[in-house]
Each structure stands twice: as C-alpha cells, then as structure tokens.
Amino acid sequence: MTVNLEDIKQAAQRLIGVAIKTPILSSAILNERLNAKIFIKPECLQHIGAFKFRGAYNRLSQLNSEEKAKGVVAFSSGNHAQGIAYAARLLGMQSTIVMPSDAPTIKKEGTERLGANIRLYDRATESREQIAEEISSRSGAVLVPAFDDVDVIAGQGTCGLEIMQQLQALDCLPDAVLSPCGGGGLLAGVATAIKETNSSTKVYGVEPENYDDHRLSKSSGQRVKIDPPHKTSCDALMATQPGVITWSINSRLVDDFLVVTEDEVAHAISFAFRYLKLVVEPGGAVALAALLQNKLNINDACAAIILSGGNIDAQSFASCLQKFPSP
C-alpha cells in the first residue's frame, strides 16, 4: 500500500472549502539570520490548530453511510484527536477518542468541545491500541489510525502540494523542505507531493531527541522501536516506531532525518512568538529549531518549513518565553 500524487490531488479536491489553505510566509529576520530564503507553512493556523484535520477529513469523508452511522474511534495525544472530532462533527458522525491522561489540557478540552467522547488511559499501564480496538469491536465504529493509513497520509500530503503550488506562484523552487516527524504520516504525504512534483528538492524529517526512531531506522535499514519511552515536551511526536506504510514511503523518499533537543525546541517556540508572531507547540516547532541551530547547511538556498501545530498550554508557552527571552 502506498500513496501517489494523484491520491493527494484527489484529497485536495475533497478539502476545498473545508480545510484552510494556510498561507506561505516569509520573515526578513529569519532570512537574514540564516542567510537564506526561508518560507514558512503555518499549519498552526489550520482548523483545530494543526495539520491533522487534513488527513482526518479525507479519511472520514470517504466512509459509506453505514460506516458513518456507527461512528469512528481513534487514539491520540491531542491533534489527531481534535482533527477526528472536528471532521466527525462536520460529517454528522459520533467520535470516540482514546487519549492519555497526561495529554496537554488544551488538547483534551479542545477534543471534548468538538463533541467527541473521550476515554482516558494511563500511558504506563494501558495500551491505547487495545482499548481502541475493543471499542471498535464492541460498537462497530471505524478505527482511524493517526498516521499509518493511506487516506490519512494523502490528506496530510495536501500540505506539501500547497507548498509547491504556492512557491511556484512566487517563481521559487525549494532546495529543501523540512517537516516534523512523529509517526511519519505528515512527512510521508509531504515527501510524496514534493518528490513527485520536483525530484531534486531535498526532503528532511525532523525529530525530537529520544524519539528519533526514523533516524535510527534509516541507520539500521529497518524499523526500529524506541523502548522504553522517554519524557518530551513534543507530545505530538511521541511515536516510538515508524508506521509500516509511512516507513515504506519515508525510507524511499526522505533524504535524511535531523534531531533537535528540548532546549532547541523551546528556543524556536520563543523565536516564532517574538519574530514570526505565531504560537507554535513543541512538536510543531522542530523544523524551525533545526534551521535555527544549523542542523542543515542552507546558506544561500531556498527552503520551506512546516510549523505543524500550535496547541500549547499557557504554562508551557510561558516557560519557553522565560527561558529564552531573546531568541
């Protein structure tokens, strides 16, 4: 199972008038600091504050009437949860979300506000996959994975398609595109859209330290699982192993994987607030962090980065600004 450019274009048609076509932005300060031309895709401005709505709506909108009547179930720490909840509400469906009890409050409240039924679980003692499967078996609800699903990947890929279309309108062909990487759904869709549009553009996945399972998988030539899990502020990127489908795509199309530290992420959040006037969550800021910390040589180049989400608690956000008051 894989995804191609035509799948992504069809997803884009389904999302017309439903998803927000987020703008492509630039910053003179960022360009000057990096001596490069940087374009920013702020998916933090998407519905529910993250790109996840794209894949959720593309998947749910294709369910038949019988499936819609039985509803959907998903497991997520927050952004996929909210994406599924909002897509289900728009399509008149019931949704149940299995969420970790320690998920950010803003994400739990957002999911509940969108009408989803929430089933909390303990990360340390319970399996979210098992709980979701039990709910699906009992109710008949369709289980929608957060990333390892071709329709979800195709929906996320519309972000990459828009990047290439928007930059083409500016007569710019990017040398590199950087995307956050958790389970790899966004990266797989974006890489497909970009490589099939222009094969010479380099695609990079960016992961937080301790959750660099894609980088480790690339080094070993097979899917690697991180065990035991670690603490990280990047709750949106806490997948411990690449998906089967996402890895089959990312192992072929992604040029390399970059890793950033917790402090580098906090610094990027502060930079985005001060200079870009954007609120970005930790998992959404990793691509910006990679550039600000020179993880990639982009001197005199043209690059695009995705700020994938903006759902951050006020306390965590304030902590980043206080730690790096002059980013």
Angle, helix 150-169 to helix 5-15, in steps of 10 degrees: 80
322: left (phi over 0), alpha (psi -120 to 50) or beta: alpha
Helices (H), 114-149: 128-139
Edge-to-edge strand ranges of the sheet holding 142-143: 117-121, 95-100, 72-75, 142-143
DSSP per-residue letters across 184-231:
SHHHHHHHHHHHHH-TTSEEEEEEETT--HHHHHHHHTS-----S---
8 Å CB contact between 244 and 251? no
- Output phi, psi for 208, to 5 deg: -80, 155
> Is residue 308 annotated as a catalytic residue, yes or no?
yes
8 Å CB contact between 3 and 157? yes
- Output phi, psi for 194, to 5 deg: -75, -50
Largest CA distance in the chain: 57
Torsion of CA 72, 243, 83, 74, to 10 degrees: 30
> Is residue 248 annotated as a catalytic residue, yes or no?
no
* Pairing status of strand 37-42 against strand 25-26: antiparallel
Task: Tell which residue, 313, 55, 95, 311, has the closest CA to residue 183.
Answer: 55
Single-letter code of the amino acid located at 202: K
Set 95, 217, 233, 308: catalytic member: 308
CA contacts within 13 A on the Cβ side of 310: 19
Edge-to-edge strand ranges of the sheet holding 302-307: 25-26, 37-42, 302-307, 176-180, 202-208, 256-260
Set 27, 37, 41, 52: catalytic member: 52
Structure letter (DSSP) for residue 140: -
Catalytic residue numbers?
52, 308
